[in-house]
Structure 1
């Protein structure tokens, strides 16, 4: 997360606190997973393996193709918010950042993004502003997901029960949306948002400077306002499209390992996914927490007999949606380095990457 108090990206070094935060969040994920799985019941791992053997040779090919579409949609806001960044470059940039976020603490991913932007002739300020908007549009889509979940629940006549808690997620999405709209509306509003936000954060962190935050919000508005009007709606739509593809991947994984539509219909898969998706805010897309909640919802909808196959499907889903992007990120970085090296040779300058 980039804040007005963050050091210069080029000079930043990952601190110990970043690793501590990651360890704490991962521990929360593990504990939550254990609790939910215990509530679901003992997993029959032999049955899980048997379900995995249902996969045919062509089915992973379909999943790989969908993951590629998912990653392109996930990166699209960079194209909409940053002049000079094509869909290809946006995807390369996002995949590279995904790789860095997995192998090193923040701000290593931001540093790589900025290096890529500079190699394409995009200023660091414009690149960072577009990156922030990329994150914000994703957060809006992420925390809005339960809204459609409520719609589906009411459509099938089911009570939300404990899911009323998800209204908090929707409220977060509304706050982010309103904040973004206020910042881009005018310089005075941008400064007011920065000042007010700093005053709130200052209650917990005394070193926060409201004037500095106000200046940062004003600069952010200047860097993003040119592209915001024509890009924001399309950016949010691309993130919604990404979730649709992600949901399709989950459904196909379930069908591929033997969970039929008669056992768990698409609407119940969608409900399970939409209410769990806000928790992808945790490391590795909420691996553990999200999976456990989806598993609990699927077992509730289809009965204990679908549990083993559902676990197998979630293993496949996570392997493709979390593991594959890391591999693609490594390929993306190599492609970018080759592009820069070729450009340097053409210009007759030494390659410094």
Structure 2
């Protein structure tokens, strides 16, 4: 497997720079933050609040990893969660494909053939991307229920279109081997036209092999994975709502529906490094201020800080524990292979 080089690091840094730039723009639109009030809001946290958030975080991570168990034979939800947490840790420390390399090493130590592990991990990623980019669709539904005009939301419409394109591609690949060959070869030719040295025939064969590995579990596993990842979004939203409520953003100021709309429209930007930290937070904060006025700004920032501590820092710490559990329970020769 190719070792991440300078190009991977450069792409990561460029994406992070874009995220920071967009964050500055959005925060300037929101206004100046009173950090003294933010600190006072954080002081409202009590000892049991982190325990509640930790429980919701664990539910979130299990649901996030569940597609691995659904697509890879012989893998339990517990094993999938350990694998996913360790991969999240690696993805935070190093650019791709370091996380995939660790995933395959862990699956290999459990006796999963590499080809099945790769297919399951890829299907997990594709399913997540379908849900990630479809999130704004639920936001539009909520706006309709609230009786509010959506306004010019071209980015959100583009996000939904990307989700539908991925979904259509997956369904075509699974439908037949001929379609899998056609999709793989067509994608290879498109990539070659934009300057990458790829072999469309190799892409076609890889796509057909991928289909052969996941087709038997697709009819049952794909719908269940969509449900699991939708549940993950609900758990993530619950973490955000609880974080905001714990630091003083009252339901009379910003309702659950308003928080959900801001979250769902911002969620596709988690594609940026570190789950879109900065840009997602700024967009959510803008939605909170739009709904509740400038009075909720400081508490909103405090709630977002708590939310990020758990949703970004929490999985990393859990990943350290998961990696430690795997290494303790796996023979050294297997973990090194």
Q: Indicate conservation of the 8 Å contact 1:84/1:120, yes or no.
A: no
Whole-angstrom distance in 2 between the partners of 1:105 and 1:253: 29
**SS of the residue 1:114 aligns to:** helix
Whole-angstrom distance in 1 between the partners of 2:200 and 2:84: 31
| CA shift for structure 1 position 195 | 1.1
Bigger shift: 321-330 or 99-108?
99-108
1:87 alignment counterpart: 77
1:63 alignment counterpart: 53
How high is the TM-score relative to the length of structure 2?
0.98
| CA shift for structure 1 position 164 | 4.1
2:209 maps to 1:219: yes
2:15 alignment counterpart: 25
CA deviations on 1:170-214 (whole Å, 9 max, x unpaired) are 110000001001101111000000111112111112412110110
1:6 alignment counterpart: none
2:280 maps to 1:290: yes
Q: Indicate conservation of the 8 Å contact 2:109/2:335, yes or no.
A: no
CA deviations on 1:11-45 (whole Å, 9 max, x unpaired) are x2110011101110111111111110011000100
| CA shift for structure 1 position 350 | 8.4
Bigger shift: 104-113 or 311-320?
104-113
Residue 46 of structure 1 is aligned with which of 36, 40, 54?
A: 36
**SS of the residue 1:202 aligns to:** helix
2:232 alignment counterpart: 242
Whole-angstrom distance in 1 between the partners of 2:190 and 2:240: 39
Long gaps (5+) in structure 2: none
Long gaps (5+) in structure 1: 1-8
CA deviations on 1:252-288 (whole Å, 9 max, x unpaired) are 0110000000000000000000000011111111101
**SS of the residue 1:79 aligns to:** helix
2:268 maps to 1:278: yes
Q: How many residues align?
A: 337
Whole-angstrom distance in 2 between the partners of 1:105 and 1:314: 25
Whole-angstrom distance in 1 between the partners of 2:227 and 2:334: 41
Whole-angstrom distance in 2 between the partners of 1:350 and 1:30: 41
Residue 159 of structure 1 is aligned with which of 139, 149, 164?
A: 149
1:127 alignment counterpart: 117
| CA shift for structure 1 position 163 | 2.2
1:95-174 equivalences under 5 Å are 95-174=85-164
Aligned-residue CA RMSD in angstroms? 1.2
Whole-angstrom distance in 2 between the partners of 1:252 and 1:207: 48
- Moved >4 Å (runs of 4+): 349-353
1:328 alignment counterpart: 318
